[in-house]
Amino acid sequence: MVASLLLKRLRTCLAIAFYAVDVCATFQDFGIPPSNAIVEIRAFNVVNLTSVTGSHQVFAPVLPGHVNLTVPVHSFLIEHKSSHSRLLFDLGVRKDPWNYPPAISAFFAAGIYSVPNDFKDIGQLLEQGGISISSIDAVIWSHSHLDHIGDMSKFPNTTTLVIGPGTNKQLYPEYPDGVLQASDFGNRSVHEVNFHESTLMFSGLEAIDYFEDGSLYLLNTPGHLPGHLAVLARVTPSSFILLGGDSFHHPGQLRPRPRFQLHFPCPAHLRETTRSSISTDYFWSWGSQKDNFDTVSRAEPLLAISDLADSVYADPVTAKVSVEKVATFDADPDFLVIIAHDTSLMSHIPYFPAALNNWKESKWKEDLVWRFVDENNPAFVFSPK
Ligand SMILES: *[C@@H]1O[C@H](CO)[C@@H](O)[C@H](O)[C@H]1NC(C)=O
Ligand SMILES: *[C@@H]1O[C@H](CO)[C@@H](O)[C@H](O)[C@H]1NC(C)=O
Ligand SMILES: *[C@@H]1O[C@H](CO)[C@@H](O)[C@H](O)[C@H]1NC(C)=O
Ligand SMILES: *[C@@H]1O[C@H](CO)[C@@H](O)[C@H](O)[C@H]1NC(C)=O
Ligand SMILES: [Zn+2]
């Protein structure tokens, strides 16, 4: 019975594959074991961070008028109800950026990085929502950059800090250029993940089963910085959210790709508006003509990972491979990919206290994934202005 069903599914897949490869992929085809264990995910935009003339350090091409970059800074609450565990994935920016080590605070003093004078940090946002900061069992840093590490000294020493393999742990002032300081580690337990302890591999990304029940995986996603981590959260038994951290910074570095276009076709109105809104002086596809861009025949992401000398990507080549792996999830209907600085999501996903778990049945993804090419979206960087 089971065998004949499998055979039937195989035949259907083969028949469809004749027309379109991979249509039958599900999470199990990624090597992810089945499980009914889930976590609840809630998102925060802690603050909007502006980087003056920072765009070229992030993506290419940078069109006239788009040299400055303002991005949301996302933080995520991850709740594992069955063990009463609460984790945070990234903390955002601290409220008092002048208290970062000089290598970082200098950028704020010079106005190169800026945040509003006063905003609620992640601790305040949690407490305001009735979640005590002392109830956070662990903080996972995607990496040790200022907009992800927050202020660990606000957390009790019972909160564990989880960091990726090879994270640079040189502290200021022993190391004058250090971007971390003693208060970031404090007297808490710091757990440096070791991917060699696991044999799990999903679409080429090494994975660790955090709660050992299939609800939450840490993913090895190097490139932006040594030790960069992403998280794959099971939010229903068969749907997932991939929290990509800074594995890339703009949705145009992820999309569009052929498999993505197959499962998530460009909405008709955007297909039309992008004909004139996307500049053919800077972007091309085989179906394009001068001043008439064709989005559907674009077979690679609109934006590249910056590989300039001052790129924010420590290793642009490795970062590109990590993005390609993440893109296989993005193309699949079982996964929603959310990065730390996706400007296209701003005010389009429900933030805390709402949970993101029902994204699939709510059909958010179809709507979200193409918003970055809408000329009214703040992520639109595809024509000079
Ligand atoms: C960030 O900017 C967006 C768009 O301008 C705005 O809607 C949102 O409230 C801002 N968020 C924060 C935390 O300031
Ligand atoms: C970038 O920001 C700087 C500093 O705020 C400002 O002087 C400049 O006009 C901005 N450039 C653009 C293209 O918006
Ligand atoms: C760690 O604990 C020791 C002893 O309680 C204390 O002197 C020190 O200031 C603490 N360090 C940090 C970074 O909190
Ligand atoms: C942890 O914090 C508690 C309360 O602040 C303090 O009493 C204890 O000494 C600290 N433990 C370490 C190892 O620093
Ligand atoms: Zn960042």
- Whether the CB-CB separation of 368 and 349 falls below 8 Å is answered with yes
How far, CA to CA in Å, does 340 sit from each of 37, 43, 230, 292, 344?
25, 10, 10, 32, 11
Cross-strand bridge partners of residue 338: 243
- Calculate how far, in angstroms, residue 134's C-alpha sits from the geometric centre of ligand 3: 18
Q: How far, in Å, CA of 94 to CA of 91, rounded?
A: 8
Give pLDDT, residue 317. Answer: 98
- Which of 169, 180, 187, 188 gets mutated to test ligand 3 (max ligand atoms within 8 A of its CB)? 187
Give pLDDT, residue 1. Answer: 45
**Among the bound ligands, the one closest to the CA of 153:** 3
Ligand 2 binding pocket, CB closer than 6 Å: 52, 65, 67-68
Q: How far, in Å, CA of 271 to CA of 285, rounded?
A: 13
Q: How far, in Å, CA of 280 to CA of 344, rounded?
A: 22
Q: Which of 382, 357, 360 is nearest to 298 (CA)?
A: 382
**Among the bound ligands, the one closest to the CA of 125:** 1
Tokens of 346: 């701003």
Give pLDDT, residue 18. Answer: 43
Please spell the DSSP secondary structure of 228-261, one letter per residue: -EEEEEEEETTEEEEEEETS-S-GGGT---HHHH
Give pLDDT, residue 25. Answer: 76
Nearest residue by C-alpha to atom 14 in ligand 4: 187
- Atom of ligand 2 lying closest to residue 385 CA: 13
Residues with CB under 5 A from ligand 5 (ion): 147, 246
Q: How far, in Å, CA of 141 to CA of 147, rounded?
A: 10
Give pLDDT, residue 299. Answer: 96
Q: How far, in Å, CA of 43 to CA of 88, rounded?
A: 10
Give pLDDT, residue 24. Answer: 60
pTM: 0.94
- Which of 187, 188, 189, 190 gets mutated to test ligand 4 (max ligand atoms within 8 A of its CB)? 187
> Amino acid letter at 69?
L
Give pLDDT, residue 22. Answer: 53
Give pLDDT, residue 348. Answer: 82
Nearest residue by C-alpha to atom 5 in ligand 3: 187
CA angle 357–330–364, rounded 5-degree value: 40
Any atom of ligand 3 within 6 Å of the Cβ of 186: yes
Mean pLDDT by 10 residues, the chain (385 residues): 48 44 76 97 98 98 98 98 97 98 98 97 98 98 98 98 97 98 97 98 98 98 97 98 98 98 97 98 98 98 98 98 98 98 90 97 95 97 97
Q: How far, in Å, CA of 76 to CA of 94, rounded?
A: 15
CA angle 144–343–369, rounded 5-degree value: 110
CA angle 223–103–95, rounded 5-degree value: 90
**Among the bound ligands, the one closest to the CA of 156:** 4
Q: What is the 3-state secondary structure (H, E, C) of 175-203?
A: CCCCCEEHHHHCCCCEEECCHHHCCCEEC
Give pLDDT, residue 276. Answer: 98
The number of CA neighbours under 13 Å toward the Cβ of 181 is: 16
- Whether the CB-CB separation of 352 and 43 falls below 8 Å is answered with yes
Q: How far, in Å, CA of 327 to CA of 158, rounded?
A: 36
